[in-house]
């Protein structure tokens, strides 16, 4: 990121619209309460215009500059991201496979002094997310590769229907592709008695339960992906869809397993002997 303009986090966020610097203030508390209410209702809270337009340009420039460091994984999976057991009856949704082709730039390839890192390391953002998720405490993830990464969807990139393994995720909508790359979701169906019939209908192309979230550049998205079925539709064109992922944990010092790091970044992030 050398030579690029880097901003202080407090100047990156549109604090007039999203007054998160002090959540004990009247404005801050009201804003956080409303955001929490949206998350509780739908398992998703999008804050459009969270990032100022001039910051967005810088974040997009930074993200584009590190696309070459993305590790791509391509494969198939069921909606539960788990091997289906041999006891699962034929025709069960767990036996149906979706395609995914996505890249990720790891944390150690994102400039140490980049604007994205400054934003990630800014405590008021962490505090907002803690309040929206109603967690007693929240910590930045300690993973050397997965703490803050950038998801990259190039031409042909897509993420098939699935439920996340992690309870929640936080992403920033930085750069929309020329076409495709829609975020679609079916809110809070995990564990419902009719979960499998809804999943089957969605996989069959039934749109009745499906909602689409517009890609609104500059928005912050706090999302409970374990309960909500979701996907990113296939991207086309030369402009990649770029979405930084900001990871947090309820306990300090948490990291991904080596298996997860190998899958998403092709290495463990540990020094080789
Ligand atoms: Fe996901």
Q: Measured in angstroms, how far is the CA atom of residue 86 from the centroid of ligand 1? A: 25
| Lowest-pLDDT range of 5-14, 62-71, 108-117, 204-213 | 5-14
Q: Measured in angstroms, how far is the CA atom of residue 169 from the centroid of ligand 1? A: 8
Q: Measured in angstroms, how far is the CA atom of residue 22 from the centroid of ligand 1? A: 30
Q: Measured in angstroms, how far is the CA atom of residue 18 from the centroid of ligand 1? A: 25
Per-residue exposure over 110-137, b if at least 16 CB sit within 10 Å of its own CB, e if not: beeebbbbbbbebebbbbbbbbbbeeee
* Res. 135 pLDDT band, cuts 50 70 90: very high
pLDDT of residue 4: 60
Q: Measured in angstroms, how far is the CA atom of residue 81 from the centroid of ligand 1? A: 10
pLDDT of residue 121: 96
Q: Measured in angstroms, how far is the CA atom of residue 24 from the centroid of ligand 1? A: 32
Query: Six-digit token pair at 87?
Result: 């006891």
Encode pLDDT of 137-195 as tens digits: 999 999 999 999 999 999 999 999 999 989 999 999 999 999 999 999 999 999 999 99
Q: Measured in angstroms, how far is the CA atom of residue 229 from the centroid of ligand 1? A: 8
Q: Decide if pLDDT at 76 tops 80.
A: yes
Q: Measured in angstroms, how far is the CA atom of residue 179 from the centroid of ligand 1? A: 20
Q: Measured in angstroms, how far is the CA atom of residue 161 from the centroid of ligand 1? A: 8
* Arch. (CATH architecture) of 9-265: Sandwich (2.60)
Q: Measured in angstroms, how far is the CA atom of residue 61 from the centroid of ligand 1? A: 25
Q: What is 83-151 written as a DSSP string?
A: PPPTTSPTT-GGG--EEEEEEEE-GGGS-TT-HHHHHHT-HHHHHHHHHHHT-S--EE---TTTSEEEE
Q: Decide if pLDDT at 5 tops 90.
A: no
Residues 129 and 132: their CA atoms lie apart, in Å, by 5
Query: Six-digit token pair at 262?
Result: 């190998």
CB 5 within 8 A of CB 148: no
pLDDT of residue 7: 73
Report which of residues 256 and 6 the model is more confident about: 256
* Res. 89 pLDDT band, cuts 50 70 90: confident
Q: Measured in angstroms, how far is the CA atom of residue 27 from the centroid of ligand 1? A: 32
Q: Measured in angstroms, how far is the CA atom of residue 45 from the centroid of ligand 1? A: 15
Q: Decide if pLDDT at 106 tops 80.
A: yes
Q: How far is CA 45 from CA 18, 48, 56, 178, 213, in A?
A: 13, 10, 19, 25, 11
Q: Measured in angstroms, how far is the CA atom of residue 164 from the centroid of ligand 1? A: 5
- Beta-bridged to residue 232, according to DSSP, are 159, 183
Q: Measured in angstroms, how far is the CA atom of residue 165 from the centroid of ligand 1? A: 8
Q: Measured in angstroms, how far is the CA atom of residue 183 from the centroid of ligand 1? A: 10
Q: How many CB atoms lie within 10 A of CB 77?
A: 16
For 50-68, what is the mean pLDDT?
96
Q: Measured in angstroms, how far is the CA atom of residue 172 from the centroid of ligand 1? A: 14
**Domain range summary for the chain, segments of one domain joined by +:** 9-265
| Lowest-pLDDT range of 13-17, 91-95, 169-173 | 91-95
* Res. 84 pLDDT band, cuts 50 70 90: confident
Q: Measured in angstroms, how far is the CA atom of residue 26 from the centroid of ligand 1? A: 34
Q: How many CB atoms lie within 10 A of CB 81?
A: 12
Query: Six-digit token pair at 33?
Result: 């309460």
User: What mean pLDDT value characterizes the chain?
Assistant: 94
The percentage of residues in the chain with a pLDDT greater than 90, rounded to a whole number, is 90
pLDDT of residue 1: 45
Overall residue count recorded for the chain in this entry: 273
Nearest to 152 by CA among 219, 66, 59: 66
């Amino acid at each position: 990121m050398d030579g690029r303009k880097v901003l202080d986090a407090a100047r990156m966020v549109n604090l007039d619209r999203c007054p998160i610097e002090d959540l004990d203030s009247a404005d801050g508390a009201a804003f956080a309460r409303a955001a929490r209410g949206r998350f509780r209702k739908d398992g998703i809270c999008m804050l459009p215009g969270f990032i100022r337009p001039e910051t967005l340009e810088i974040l997009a420039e930074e993200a584009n500059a590190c696309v070459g460091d993305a590790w791509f994984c391509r494969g198939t999976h069921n909606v539960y991201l788990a091997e289906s057991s041999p006891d699962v009856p034929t025709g069960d949704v767990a036996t149906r496979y979706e395609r995914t082709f996505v890249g990720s730039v790891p944390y150690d390839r994102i400039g140490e002094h980049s604007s994205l890192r400054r934003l990630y390391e800014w405590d008021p953002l962490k505090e907002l997310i803690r309040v929206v998720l109603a967690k007693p405490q929240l910590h930045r993830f300690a993973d050397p590769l997965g703490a803050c990464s950038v998801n990259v969807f190039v031409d042909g990139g897509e993420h098939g229907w699935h439920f996340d393994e992690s309870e929640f995720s936080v992403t920033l909508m930085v750069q929309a592709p020329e076409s495709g790359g829609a975020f679609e979701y079916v809110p809070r169906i995990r564990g419902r008695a009719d979960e499998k019939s809804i999943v089957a209908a969605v996989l069959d192309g039934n749109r009745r339960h499906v909602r689409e979230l517009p890609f609104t550049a500059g928005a912050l998205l706090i999302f409970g992906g374990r309960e909500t079925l979701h996907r990113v539709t296939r991207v086309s064109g030369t402009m990649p869809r770029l979405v930084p992922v900001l990871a947090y944990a309820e306990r300090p010092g948490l990291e991904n397993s080596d298996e997860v790091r190998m899958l998403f970044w092709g290495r463990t992030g540990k020094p080789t002997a």
